[in-house]
Amino acid sequence: MSRFQFVADNSATFEVKRLCELVEIERSSYYAWVKAAPAREARAAADAKLVERIRAVHTEDKTCGAPRITADLNDGAEAGERVNHKRVARVMREHGIRGYQKKRRVRTTIPEPSGQKYPDLLKRDFTAEAANQRYVGDITYLPLADGSNLSRWSAEDLEAVAYALNNRPRKVLGWKTPAEVFEEQLRSLEQPGVATTG
């Protein structure tokens, strides 16, 4: 309840001057608020009609946000029926109507332009018809303590976790952190993988 509404509700019992002093508002502000009441009611009624129009557009396409809904409402509308995008956004916010927002995709691997390129031995075909046919792994996306990831590090500075994933049952076979050559690390993970998956 606003302070103005409090004064209006109690003005039949107490003096307006005394109530305004109590809630610390100017009498002129209170009377201006009373004078503007019909305009507020008309705006509330117009907003109620507008929210129905907004819901109609939103039920057709739930991805629409305020700008597209405004464009749809104003498309072919007469001059008196046109609405502002800020008003549409306010009414949508007040009634909890939201367009679907695609979540921002986090880019985990940022290739170094001058970095060494490795051949794609699987040719982007990760399917395996049986267990122990294809092992995959990627260490470049793993976050480090300082917030960076391994994709920007040189091979000399790289201390990383090597892991292998059996592509058929989608099961991690194992992981290690020695400062060895990656090929040797992955070969050392192959034997536990065969023992685990058969």
Question: How confident is the model at residue 191, as a pLDDT?
Answer: 62
**Full-model pTM:** 0.46
State whether the Cα torsion 96-101-103-104 is positive or negative. negative
180 has a pLDDT exceeding 50: no
- Please tell me the predicted confidence (pLDDT) of residue 127: 77
pLDDT confidence bin for 167, thresholds 50/70/90: low
pLDDT-based confidence at residue 100 (cuts at 50, 70, 90):
confident
Q: Does residue 34 contact residue 8 with C-beta atoms inside 8 Å?
A: yes
76 vs 147 pLDDT, higher one: 76
d(CA 22, CA 56): 46
Mean pLDDT of 1-18: 89
